[in-house]
């Protein structure tokens, strides 16, 4: 049945080359943990991507219940975690995944660094990787405020005051981030928008560039 | 079953699809259950609340407002409902919901000059007779819901509006 649907579409649109081009490529021996166990270090990038997918999915579902508003934010998080079936698990995925994705990304960065995989011709991909690192930290920072509990608010105060210490543009950065003088209603809506729209869009674009460059240049050779 | 029945490639395909499917299901199952929770939640019950003194109820439908406590997720509030209440020929109290059974507008009593002594819905001209039966040829396809009611200490108590079958 599925095969027939696929054939029907393929006959008309010739979709096979599209996915073949993505899926059909050899995994070099030196990155295959089945050949050399130590090659597991090559998995960190893929694991980062895998957790990112889980973050995006769990985040989309959490947004079904979350209210980005100082009166309701905490209550809605409390409700979705304690009253809604599997709320603990879905929020747990997003909460723990947020830390794990940064750990994995860090390990991936270390691998690339110590193997010298960033050297010519892959310098540009290193630059994009560093941008992804920044976006991920931004996602962590903005997401931390959303539950709107004491820890969230004070962590954000600290973070915004760190931003204030940037020379020259510090005060502007502070006002921009907190959306005014007060860290309150407008900070929360602003962080929400950054967390669910701006940074994910940037992340997807950067990850697309990251992967296209890998396919173009291939994985760096064995040491 | 001979050895040729399943190739190495097929075996790998099946195992990988199986393992991948299992992992995807493990990730998605909690999220989907989380999302459909409102569909599976059971209906909240609602306490009967005192609406009016029985003595104030006449033969002509009259609108009475009453307040109920409502829980909407994390938001709790008091909302005002209303009921069209009257005594029918046998002296029984009838309390009708004002929600039109067509698409949910609010009906009113005796406001259509062309059809006196009927409930009238301004949205698409739905009409109901005094006992709430929908008039054939107007949009609504069911009679008005009736509130669960009881009389205690000379007061009328109303609960949930329940749909009924009919015309
Ligand atoms: S909603 Fe009342 S007639 Fe359509």
Per-residue model confidence (pLDDT) at position B13? 92
Per-residue model confidence (pLDDT) at position B158? 95
Average pLDDT of chain A is 96
**Whether residues B30 and B89 fall in one domain:** no
CA dihedral (B5, B11, B15, B18) in degrees, to 10, reads: -50
Domain range enclosing B96 = 49-162
Residues of A in contact with B72 (CB under 8 A): none
Residue A165, CB half-sphere, CA atoms under 13 Å: how many? 5
ipTM, two decimals: 0.88
Segment (H or E) for B65: strand B62-72
Q: How many domains does chain B have?
A: 2
**Whether residues B91 and B122 fall in one domain:** yes
Question: For residue A220, is the peptide bond before it cis, meaning its omega torsion is within 30 degrees of 0?
Answer: no
Q: Which domains does chain A have, with CATH numbers?
A: 30-217 (1.20.810.10)
pTM for this model (two decimals): 0.88
d(CA A61, CA A91): 9
Look-up: residue for tokens 């004491």?
A150
CA nearest A102: which of A145, A133, A146?
A: A133
d(CA A11, CA A15): 8
Tell me the average pLDDT across A111-129. 96
Q: Which of B98, B99, B100 most suits a substitution to test ligand 1, by most atoms within 8 Å of the C-beta?
A: B100
Asked whether residue B98 is assigned to any structural domain, the reply reads yes
Q: Give the SS3 label for residue B51.
A: strand
C-alpha triplet A213, A130, A42: angle, nearest 5°: 60
**Whether residues B17 and B57 fall in one domain:** no
- Is ligand 1 within 6 A of the CB of residue B144? no
Q: Which of B33, B73, B75 sits opposite A86 (nearest CB)?
A: B33
A156-211 per-position pLDDT tens digit: 999 999 999 999 999 999 999 999 999 999 999 999 999 999 999 999 999 999 99
Say if residue B144's pLDDT is above 90: yes
Residues 77-106 of A with CB under 8 A from B: 78-80, 83-87, 89-90, 93
**Whether residues B34 and B60 fall in one domain:** no
**CATH number of the domain where residue B88 is located:** 2.102.10.10
Hey, how many other C-beta atoms are within 10 angstroms of the C-beta on B119?
28
d(CA B93, CA B53): 12
Question: What percentage of residues in chain B have a pLDDT greater than 90?
Answer: 86
- Is ligand 1 within 6 A of the CB of residue B121? yes
d(CA B35, CA B33): 5
């Amino acid at each position: 049945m599925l095969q027939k649907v696929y054939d029907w579409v393929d006959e008309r649109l010739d979709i096979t080359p599209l996915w073949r081009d993505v899926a059909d490529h050899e995994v070099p021996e030196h990155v295959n943990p089945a050949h050399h166990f130590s090659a597991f270090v090559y998995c960190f990038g893929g694991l980062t991507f895998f957790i990112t997918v889980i973050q995006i999915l769990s985040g989309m579902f959490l947004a079904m219940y979350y209210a980005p508003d100082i009166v309701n934010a905490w209550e809605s998080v409390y409700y979705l975690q304690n009253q809604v079936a599997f709320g603990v698990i879905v929020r747990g995925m997003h909460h723990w995944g947020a830390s794990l994705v940064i750990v994995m990304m860090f390990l991936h960065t270390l691998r690339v660094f110590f193997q010298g995989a960033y050297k010519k011709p892959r310098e540009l991909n290193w630059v994009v990787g560093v941008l992804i690192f920044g976006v991920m930290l931004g996602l962590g920072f903005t997401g931390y405020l959303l539950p709107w509990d004491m820890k969230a608010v004070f962590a954000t105060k600290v973070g915004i005051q760190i931003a204030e210490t940037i020379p020259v543009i510090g005060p502007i950065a502070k006002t921009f981030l907190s959306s005014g003088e007060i860290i309150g209603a407008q900070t929360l809506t602003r962080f929400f928008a950054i967390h669910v729209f701006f940074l994910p869009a940037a992340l997807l674009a950067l990850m697309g560039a990251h992967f296209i460059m890998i396919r173009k240049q291939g994985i760096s050779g064995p040491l | 079953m001979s050895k040729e029945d399943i190739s190495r490639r097929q075996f790998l395909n099946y195992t990988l699809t199986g393992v991948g499917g299992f992992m995807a299901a493990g990730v998605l199952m909690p999220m989907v259950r989380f999302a459909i929770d409102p569909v599976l939640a059971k209906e909240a019950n609602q306490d009967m609340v005192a609406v009016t003194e029985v003595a104030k109820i006449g033969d002509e439908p009259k609108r009475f407002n009453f307040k109920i406590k409502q829980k909407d997720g994390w938001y709790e509030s008091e909302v005002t409902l209303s009921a069209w209440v009257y005594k029918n020929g046998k002296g029984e109290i009838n309390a009708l919901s004002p929600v039109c059974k067509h698409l949910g507008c609010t009906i009113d009593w005796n406001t259509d000059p062309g059809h006196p002594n009927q409930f009238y819905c301004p949205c698409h001209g739905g009409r109901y007779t005094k006992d709430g039966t929908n008039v054939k040829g107007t949009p609504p396809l069911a009679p008005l819901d009736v509130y669960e009611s009881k009389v205690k200490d000379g007061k009328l108590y109303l609960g949930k509006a329940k749909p009924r079958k009919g015309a």
